Structures are given as structure tokens and as C-alpha cells.
């Protein structure tokens, strides 16, 4: 992975974490055990510290940055969806930030809360634990159900398993010129979107 020191500060990646080779880590970045950092994610610790705690994931195209003397933290089992932006904020344990959401300076996403896709969490907002927030600017919509909290944790476990899969089998290869006979499929994983669970 592209990893750069700045002012003598070098990123740290736990050996049990997986960081995609196209992700970029700069300076004061600490990636903890069993974390997943996806393709083209940018973790720019050139001003403030960035910390990913155990089992958290930061998916493809995410951007994490912060102000000097501020830590941007994703706590244990935090789940940051594709294309999200975090800036000088804290995502508490077991919380989820949805795809393309933005979480601004000094905001705090409470434990087991969910920020909906494309939401804008303004600077300083404190999202209560186990709540759903959405909109521009984000507003608290309601408390999450036990089923929704469990669904989120299941999704995070899928990314923790992906960390192991990537460490064990993801390799750069040349593409095949055509589809081979009896092309294998990836192993089935028991995960589905929340909307599908509501139809069941």
C-alpha cells in the first residue's frame, strides 16, 4: 500500500489488519487489529491523528482527515460505508456511517447508531446511541430496533471475515482474455440488505 511518513511520523498497521494496496496512509494513522481498509481509501494523518480500533472497517473511496490536535476515531466494530467522509469526528463502538455520508468536525456518532447513506452530520452534532439519523443536515429520525442493530453487527462481521479472506487469497493478477468453462463462483455468504430482511 502507499504509506508515507510526514515529519517523521509513520503509519501503523497491525499485522492482522488488511489495507488494500491502492489505499493511501499518510503520517499519524493507526490501523488496529482485524481492521479492513478498502480500495482507494485515503487516511490523511498529516494534521491530526486517525485511529481505527479493532474490527472496524473503512470501505472503498472513503476519506478520513482532521484538524491539528484532533483525533478522528472509528471505535471497535465501527463500519464506514463506501465513499463516506469523516473529518475530526468520533464514530463510537458498533456504529455505522452509510455510503457517501459526511461527518464533520467534533461530531460524535453514538454507540450502535446508524447514519443513513448521503446524510450530512454537521459540526458538533452528538448523535444519540442506537438512533437513526438522515438528511441534509442530519436529524434524528427514531431509535433503532434490536433487529437493525443486529443487522449492522452481522454486516461488520462480514467485513471482518473479508479481512481474513483478503490476507489469505487476494492477489494481483492479469485478467483472463475470456470467460473460462465452468467458471467458479465466490463462496456464498449469508448477508443481505436491510430491505431484504424486512420482506422476509
pLDDT in tens, 136-153: 999 999 999 999 999 999
**pLDDT value of position 134:** 97
**pLDDT value of position 187:** 83
**pLDDT value of position 83:** 98
Task: Output the average pLDDT for the chain.
Answer: 94
**pLDDT value of position 195:** 62
The DSSP secondary structure of the chain, one letter per residue, reads --EE-BTTB--EE-TT-EE-TT-EEEEEEEE-TT-EE-TT-EEEEEEEEEEE-TT-EE-TT-EEE--TT--EEE-TT-EE-TT-EEES-EE-TT-EE-TT-EE-TT-EE-TT-EEPTT-EE-TT-EEPTTEEEETTTTEEEEEPPHHHHHHHHHHHHHHHHHHHHHHHH----PPPSSPPTT---PPP-----HHHHHH-
The yes-or-no verdict on residue 85 having pLDDT over 70 is yes
**pLDDT value of position 20:** 97
Under DSSP, is residue 156 helix (H, G, I), strand (E, B) or coil? helix
Instruction: Find the mean pLDDT for residues 46-53.
Output: 97
**pLDDT value of position 57:** 98
Give 112's pLDDT tier (boundaries 50, 70, 90): very high
Lookup result for grid cell 440488505: 193
The yes-or-no verdict on residue 43 having pLDDT over 70 is yes
**pLDDT value of position 200:** 58
**pLDDT value of position 66:** 93
Instruction: Find the mean pLDDT for residues 42-52.
Output: 97
Lookup result for grid cell 489488519: 17
Comparing 193 with 57, which gets the higher pLDDT? 57
**pLDDT value of position 86:** 98
- Neighbour-count burial of 119, counting CB atoms closer than 10 A to its CB (0-12 exposed, 13-18 middle, 19+ buried): buried
**pLDDT value of position 196:** 65
pLDDT digits (tens, 9 = 90+) for 16-35: 999 999 999 999 999 999 99
Determine the length of the chain. Answer: 200
Cell numbers given for 36:
479492513
In percent, the amount of the chain with pLDDT more than 90 equals 90
State the greatest distance between any 2 C-alpha atoms of the chain, in Å, as a whole number: 56
The yes-or-no verdict on residue 193 having pLDDT over 80 is no
**pLDDT value of position 96:** 98
Amino acid at each position: 500500500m502507499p504509506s508515507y511518513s510526514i515529519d517523521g511520523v509513520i503509519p501503523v498497521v497491525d499485522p492482522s489488519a488488511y489495507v488494500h494496496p491502492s489505499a493511501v496512509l499518510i503520517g499519524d494513522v493507526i490501523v488496529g487489529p482485524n481492521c479492513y481498509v478498502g480500495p482507494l481509501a485515503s487516511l490523511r494523518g498529516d494534521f491530526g491523528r486517525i485511529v481505527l480500533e479493532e474490527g472496524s472497517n473503512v470501505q472503498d473511496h472513503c476519506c478520513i482527515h482532521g484538524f491539528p490536535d484532533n483525533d478522528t476515531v472509528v471505535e471497535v466494530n465501527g463500519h464506514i460505508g463506501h465513499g463516506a467522509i469523516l473529518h475530526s469526528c468520533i464514530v463510537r463502538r458498533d456504529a455505522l456511517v452509510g455510503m457517501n455520508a459526511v461527518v464533520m468536525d467534533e461530531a460524535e456518532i453514538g454507540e450502535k447508531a446508524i447514519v443513513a447513506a448521503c446524510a450530512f452530520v454537521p459540526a458538533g452534532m452528538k448523535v444519540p446511541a442506537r438512533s437513526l439519523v438522515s438528511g441534509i443536515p442530519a436529524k434524528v429520525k427514531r431509535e433503532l430496533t434490536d433487529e437493525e442493530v443486529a443487522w449492522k453487527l452481522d454486516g461488520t462481521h462480514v467485513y471482518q471475515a473479508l479481512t481474513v479472506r483478503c490476507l489469505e487469497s487476494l492477489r494481483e493478477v492479469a485478467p483472463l482474455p475470456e470467460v473460462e468453462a465452468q467458471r467458479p463462483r465466490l463462496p456464498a455468504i449469508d448477508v443481505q440488505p436491510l430491505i431484504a430482511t424486512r420482506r422476509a
